[in-house]
Amino acid sequence: MAICDKPIERPRFSCMLGGVLATTGALPRTVPIIHGAQGCGGSLAQGILLGGYYGTGYAGSGGMPSTNISESEVIFGGEEKLREEIKGVFEVMQGDLFVVSTACMTDIIGDDAKAVVDSLRPLPKPVIFLESGGFKGNSYYGYGRLIEELFLQYIPISTKKNLKAVNLLGLVPAYDPFFRGDLAELKRILNLLGIEVNTFVTSDQTQENLLKAGEASLNIILSRVYGVEAAKTIKESHDIDYLVTDLPIGAKATENFARLIADRLEISKNVVDPLLAAEIKNYYSFIDRATDVIADTDFQNYAVVVANATQALPYARYLDNEIGWIPTHIFITDDLDEDQEAAIRSAFGEIEFETRPDLVFETDTFKIQQYIEQNTPQFLADEYYPTISPAFVLGSTIERRLAEVLKGNFLSVSYPIINRIIISKGYAGFRGGLNLLEDLIGTQLAGR
């Protein structure tokens, strides 16, 4: 459980319930039922929109049913209200799966959501529940807990494993703003290798994907910290092995990723090599033409990456390993515990950089700028020091200010993103690597 024990200035996440609701709203034909005050669903719906205007969808964001408890329920208990709400939701909402999620107040007063749901069974459709009071952790924690409960309460245990089936986990809807495009691309690549993939949260998914997730032989966690605990639980409950890796961005990282999975699933090199060769060839045919403008106009940059624990290292690796930029700083904006921080440091140590960037764990927005200003010679009044110039900031929309201070360019890649809409775009995989290059160079050309 991630416990935030200090005030954070402009945090890049919401609460546990926020992560649960964003994820529930991304599951196929799944309806969340919030047991909390009206402000919980209302403000968390807004929080979900900050992921590049990730909208309502089937029953997410602004379409989420809620018990909207009031003072009377706080004093006398809200279980009856929840019971009525569940009945009411079944009358007016169609869905294939319903997720009852409690909020802070109902957890504090001790409403027993499980007992209410159980007392109503049998229900016309599957209903799972989880205590998701926001005080228990942040939105990333909420994602992990929901995935756990999906397996524990809904996804059947299968003793017969499909050795060519995997679940792709670790990207949190909305809070990893490019999750749809990223997962779709990684699914495409794994499909090429003959691997069946359940992502749970992309638009192609159905309940069938959820229900057969127990047959998968591997859970791939695309984050060094988020979803890892869930994977451990699922290993015990469903006997599915797990692999923790980084989000691959660009040809080199994606080739490594594909080979890692292929090795794990014992897919023949003879199958993998030609498929990847074709993908790589295709990738560089696009890069090839882009190099004209890149070389002619010297679009090489020093870069500052500001992102969550899942994305920050993969972006920095891409900038250095794939396109030859120099990332000077990597700021990880999540509130991590010691073990999580250690996992990130370890992953950072595995990445080869031409010039090693400064890895900084910093949750406060203003301190990110302050850190650069106080630790970079160009801000220390000596003009003969090297400078971070030309600079490029890859961060959230609130890093626009940092880009101005560095007199550099800016691309929003991490939550919150409100300066552009994200629909199907992703930055992972081969296609994502091209997308990212297109956006990085496109940003520099935009003023022409």
Partner 1 sequence: MAKEIKQIAIYGKGGIGKSTTTSNLSAALSDMGYKVMQFGCDPKADSTNTLRDGSYIPTVLELLRDKGKFNAHEAIFTGYNGIYCVEAGGPAPGVGCAGRGIITAVQLLKQQKIFEELDLDYVIYDVLGDVVCGGFAVPIREGIAQHVFTVSSSDFMAIYAANNLFKGIQKYSNSGGALLGGVIANSVAPDSTYQKAIIDDFAARTDTQVMQYIPRSITVTQSELNGKTTIEAQPDSAQAKVYRQLAERVGGHTESKTPNPLSLQDLRAWAAEWSDQILAIESGDVRGEAMAI
> What does the binding site for partner 1 look like in residue numbers (CB under 8 A)?
71-79, 108-111
- Round to whole Å and give the CA distance between 150 and 143: 11
Compute the residue count for the chain: 448
Shorter beta-carbon distance to partner 1: residue 3 or 108: 108
Shorter beta-carbon distance to partner 1: residue 12 or 136: 136
Q: Looking up tokens 């047959």, which residue turns up?
A: 215
**Distance of closest approach, residue 103 Cβ to partner 1, in angstroms:** 14
Shorter beta-carbon distance to partner 1: residue 75 or 92: 75
Written as six digits, the tokens of 162 are 């499909």
- Round to whole Å and give the CA distance between 440 and 419: 15
Written as six digits, the tokens of 415 are 């939550």
**Distance of closest approach, residue 106 Cβ to partner 1, in angstroms:** 10
**Distance of closest approach, residue 72 Cβ to partner 1, in angstroms:** 5
**Distance of closest approach, residue 136 Cβ to partner 1, in angstroms:** 18
Coil, helix or strand for 168? Answer: strand
Written as six digits, the tokens of 60 are 């997410």
How many of the other CB atoms lie within 10 Å of CB of 266? 8
Check: CB of residue 128 under 8 Å from CB of residue 99: yes
- Round to whole Å and give the CA distance between 279 and 371: 40
Shorter beta-carbon distance to partner 1: residue 110 or 447: 110
149: amino acid identity, one letter: E
**Distance of closest approach, residue 283 Cβ to partner 1, in angstroms:** 58
Coil, helix or strand for 164? Answer: strand
**Distance of closest approach, residue 82 Cβ to partner 1, in angstroms:** 12
Check: CB of residue 4 under 8 Å from CB of residue 138: yes
Check: CB of residue 310 under 8 Å from CB of residue 170: yes
**Distance of closest approach, residue 75 Cβ to partner 1, in angstroms:** 4
Residue 380 gets the label, from left (phi > 0), alpha (psi -120 to 50) or beta, of alpha
Shorter beta-carbon distance to partner 1: residue 115 or 271: 115
Burial class (CB in 10 A: 0-12, 13-18, 19+), 341: middle
**Distance of closest approach, residue 111 Cβ to partner 1, in angstroms:** 8
